[in-house]
Amino acid sequence: MAGATEKDQKTEQPTAKKLADSAREGDVLMSRELATALMMLAAAGWIVAAGGWFVQSAGDLVRRGLTLTAADVSDFAPAEALMRNGVEILLPLASLFALALGAAIAGPAMLGSIGWRGKALHFKGNRMNPLSGLKRMFGMQGATELGKALAKVLLLGTIGYWLVEKSLPAIMTMATTDLIAAIGLAGKAIGHAMLTLAGGLVVIALIDVPVQWFQRNKRLMMSKQEVKDEMRQSDGAPELKQAQRQRAHDILSGSARKAVSDATVVLTNPTHFSVALRYRPGVDAAPVVVARGRGDVALSIRELARGADVPILEYPQLTRAIYFTARAGRVIPEELFVAVATVLAFVFQLERAVADGLAQPAVDVPPSHHFDPEGRRPA
C-alpha cells in the first residue's frame, strides 16, 4: 500500500506534453490582475496624451451643434455635417479603442498564453457542479482570491486617500477659476490619479503572476507513474518516431548522416551522449570517431543508427570518455584502446552472442578518463 501511495503522489514537474495538452484544453497561465493593470495603464496614458484632444473635439462638436446660421438652413446637408463632426470626435475614441485592444492582447502574450483554443469553449458538466463551486470558494483558490481582493482594496484605498489629501487644495481653488481652466486642471488631476492607481495595480500584478504560475504548476504536477506511462506512450507513437527521424535528418549534415550509416557501433550514455565509431580491419589503424553529439544531436545519431541497423550499446562512462577526449574524424585516445577493443570484439560476434544469450561485456575506463555529464573529472 505504501508503494502504491508513493506512486500516486504528485511529485514530478509537468512534462512538455502535459503542458501542451493542458493548454489545448484551455488551462493556460492567466492573470486578471495583469490584464486589469495593463488596461488601466492604457487608459491613463490615453488621458494624459490625448485627453486634451478629446475634450477640445467634444467642445467643438457641442459648439457647432448649438450654432445655427443662415447658410446651414439654405444649404442643408445633414449627412455631410454628421460625417465631418463624427470623424472629428471618433478619431480620439478610436485611439482609445486601439490602446485597449493592444493592452488586452499584451496580457496573454506576456504570459505566453495567447492563441485560440476551441476546446476551452466546449461544455463541461463539472463546471455546473455546486460542490465543485463550493470547493473553489472555500478552498485554497478562494482564500487566495480573497487575499488578493483585500490587498487590492487596502493598497488602492491608501493610494486614493493620499491622492485626495494631496490634491485637496487644488480642488478647492477650482471654484474661483474659469470653466476652461477648471476643466484642464481636473483632466490633469484625473490623469495623474489614474497613472498612480495603475502603478498600484502593477504591483499587485507582479505578485499575482508568480502566484498564478505556482498554482497552475501545482495543479499540473504528475506522479512518477504518470511520467512513465507518458514516456511509454510517446516511445510507441508513430508520429513521434517520424518527428525523430525528421529531426535527425535536419540536425546532422549529409556527410555526418553517411558516416553514422557506415559506423561499426554507436555507444550511448544512454540518452545524453552518443558516439559513433568505425573500425574496418585492415583499413583503419585504430577505431575512428565518425560522429559525436549530446542532447538532440545524440538522439539524432541514435535514430539514424537504428535506421541503418548499426548496433547501439549503452556504455555511459566510456561514451563520455570518448566524447570529451576525441573529435569526429580522429582516432580514439590510446588509453581507451582496450575498452573499445572489448566492445568491438563483442559487436563482431554479435549474432552469435545474441543466439547464445550472452550479455554485453563490462569494460574498464581508466580513472584519468572519467567524466561527469558536464565534462568535469571527479575530484
Q: Domain holding 310: CATH number?
A: 3.40.1690.10
**Residue 264 included in any domain:** yes
Residues 197 and 63 reside in one and the same domain: yes
pLDDT band, residue 334 (cuts 50/70/90): very high
Say whether pLDDT at 320 is over 90.
Answer: yes
Distance CA 306, CA 251 (A): 16
Residues 211 and 261 reside in one and the same domain: no
Say whether pLDDT at 42 is over 70.
Answer: yes
User: Pick from 144, 136, 124: which is nearest to 31 by CA?
Assistant: 144
CB 64 within 8 Å of CB 58: no
Residues 192 and 334 reside in one and the same domain: no
pLDDT at position 124: 55
When the pLDDT of each residue in the chain is averaged and rounded to a whole number, the result is: 78
Q: Per DSSP, what are the bridge partners of residue 276? A: 266, 291
Model pTM score: 0.47
Higher pLDDT, 35 or 87: 35
Phi, psi of 361 (to 5 degrees): -70, 155
Residues 305 and 255 reside in one and the same domain: yes
Q: What percent of the chain has pLDDT over 70?
A: 74
State the burial class of residue 298 (Cβ atoms within 10 Å of its Cβ: 0-12, 13-18, 19+). Answer: buried
pLDDT at position 237: 55
pLDDT at position 127: 56
pLDDT at position 1: 44
Residues 284 and 216 reside in one and the same domain: no
Q: How many domains does the chain have?
A: 2
**Residue 217 included in any domain:** yes
Which positions ≥6 away from 196 have C-beta within 8 Å?
A: 159, 163
Residues 163 and 261 reside in one and the same domain: no
pLDDT tens profile 98-155: 888 888 888 888 887 776 555 555 555 555 556 665 566 666 667 777 777 788 788 8
Residues 69 and 195 reside in one and the same domain: yes
Distance CA 245, CA 325 (A): 28
Residues 201 and 253 reside in one and the same domain: no
Domain around 357: 245-369
**Residue 277 included in any domain:** yes
Residues 203 and 328 reside in one and the same domain: no
Sign of CA dihedral 198, 202, 204, 209: positive
Residues 76 and 190 reside in one and the same domain: yes
pLDDT tens profile 1-34: 444 455 567 778 887 778 777 777 777 888 888 8
CB 216 within 8 Å of CB 29: yes
**Residue 23 included in any domain:** no
| Secondary structure (H, E, C), the chain | CHHHHHHHCEEECCCHHHHHHHHHCCCCCCCHHHHHHHHHHHHHHHHHHHHHHHHHHHHHHHHHHCCCCHHHHHCCCHHHHHHHHHHHHHHHHHHHHHHHHHHHHHHHHHCCCCCCCHHHHCCCHHHHCHHHHHHHHHCHHHHHHHHHHHHHHHHHHHHHHHHHHHHHHHHHHHHHCCHHHHHHHHHHHHHHHHHHHHHHHHHHHHHHHHHHHHHHHHHCCEEHHHHHHHHHHHHCCHHHHHHHHHHHHHHCCHHHHHHHHCCCEEEECCCCEEEEEECCCCCCCCCEEEEEEECHHHHHHHHHHHHCCCCEEECHHHHHHHHHHCCCCCECCHHHHHHHHHHHHHHHCHHHHHHHCCCCCCCCCCHHHCCCCCCCCCC
Residues 146 and 295 reside in one and the same domain: no
